Amino acid sequence: MPSHEQATRAWAQASDASDPLRTFREEFLIPPHGNGTSVYMCGNSLGLQPRAVRAAIDEELHDWGTLAVEGHFKGKRPWLDYHEYVRDDLAAIVGAKPIEVVAMNTLGVNLHLMMVSFYRPTPERHAILIEAGAFPTDRYAVESQVRYHGFSPALSLIELQGDEPNGTISMQAIERALAEYGERIALVMLPGVQYRTGQVFDLKAITQLAHRYGCMVGFDLAHAVGNLPLQLHDSGADFAVWCSYKYLNAGPGAIAGAFVHERHAHATLPRFAGWWGHDKTSRFKMGPEFVPTPGADGWQLSNPPIMALVPLRISLEIFRRAGMERLREKSLRLTGYLEWLVDTQLADVLDVVTPREPARRGAQLSLRVQGGREKGRALFEHLEQHGIIGDWREPDVIRISPAPLYNQFEDCVDFVEAVRAWVTR
């Protein structure tokens, strides 16, 4: 691991200068602070704006102004099939086949649409397994689905408690829960990365285990997509959903995504149907009978929102050029460096909540300030005032995420120096 010399700004600057991915930082707008830029380490909450987005949106505005309705069929990128322009890159990001992915709606909407199809409770099998302390989107959605089907969350919502230090969850805990409750669990719904702790879950291992008990399996990949190399098809998961405004840099409230495994591509699953999910070869015949498009496209409700898709298309093109494997390699080094700095320079101030094993975390480190919530909030506000942008998660966690597309080793040094300045103020 790093030596004493590597704690210096000079070492960090040299590492940044030799980084083969360093030029991608120039493709993003870094928020200003004072006479320079902020140290933005909050891509796990909202990714930065790619510089190319403005011109790309202007292109579509121009087509709208000059072509009006004909823009659906003419122009550089006809709007009729616009969601298909992101399909291949989106599939590559999540390790899926193109037929298995679609960009549509928002995460919460997509989660409900997926549960309409994949949460089919019976009197004998009606429970949903989630992690304790799940993100509210997931918690509210699964509880409301349980109630909608006439069951009680007190009996049908099983919350998996953390069994490791700092509240992380071992694979053994998941195995125990399925051994105890598996025959009454209809759906296992877990995150790819737990938002508060930053723990990575093994999608394939969880899916294989849950399928052995006859459960459907879905994942919320909000904090995993664009953060980790994923192999959704090979995982065997039935479905997954995600947002695109975090590591995918598609803008606030950006269009989200969904994955439906290929084995369900032609299945006659119950679903909430919409016109744009109808088979595209006969969609404009306007017939009364819904015939779903094979694959994930069949879960679409409405025609694609063009202006919302533009930033996602631009960001995915950047990811294609950078490559997820290279980004993951840099992320491991960058997050490992930040962890080492915290351990060696700030051990008297911060405790690392996120798992120590690199394979069990992404770009995020969740940090707990020693001394309780009041001190934690004070440090967080100090960091904000000094242009160090992370985020706060109740009750006592500061999340710092060095995203490899635009963060650099010197950002980690800036963070440490800002924390030390707070200690010695």
Predicted pLDDT of residue 75: 87
pLDDT score for 82 = 94
Strand-strand pairing, 28-29 and 36-37: unpaired
Query: What is the CATH code of the structural domain delimited by 77-320?
Result: 3.40.640.10
What DSSP element (H or E) covers 71? none
Q: Are 238 and 258 in contact (CB under 8 A)?
A: no
Cα-Cα-Cα-Cα dihedral of 168, 47, 241, 307, to 10°? Answer: 170
Listed residue (231, 228, 244) closest to 95, CA to CA: 231
Inform me whether the pLDDT recorded for 41 exceeds 60.
yes
What does DSSP say about strands 388-389 and 39-40: parallel, antiparallel, or unpaired?
parallel
Q: In the CATH hierarchy, which top-level class contains the domain 4-50+323-423?
A: alpha beta
Res 2: pLDDT = 54
Question: What is the mean predicted confidence (pLDDT) over 249-254?
Answer: 97
Residues 224, 245: Cα–Cα separation, whole Å: 12
pLDDT, tens digit (0-9, with 9 covering 90-100), for 286-326: 999 999 999 999 999 999 999 999 999 999 999 999 999 99
Would you list the domain boundaries of the chain? 4-50+323-423, 77-320
**Can you tell me the distance from the alpha carbon of 281 to that of 93, in angstroms, rounded to the nearest whole number?**
28
Give the pLDDT confidence of 304-314 residue by residue, as tens digits. Answer: 999 999 999 99
What pLDDT is stored for residue 302 in this prediction?
94
Would the pLDDT of 1 be above 70? no
Lookup: tokens for 236: 């065997």
Question: Closest Cα to residue 219, out of 144, 138, 327?
Answer: 138
Of 77, 187, 197, nearest in space to 134 by CA: 197
Q: In this structure, are residues 366 and 47 in contact, taking their beta carbons and an 8 Å threshold?
A: no
pLDDT in tens, 171-200: 999 999 999 999 999 999 999 999 999 999
pTM listed for this prediction = 0.96
- pLDDT at res. 392: 95
Q: What sign results for the dihedral spanned by CA atoms 234, 240, 246, 249?
A: positive
Tokens, residue 393: 């998660």
* Mean pLDDT to the nearest integer, 201-225: 98
- Residue 412's pLDDT band, with cuts at 50, 70 and 90, is very high
Residue range 380-384: mean pLDDT, rounded: 96
d(CA 174, CA 262) in angstroms, rounded, equals 26
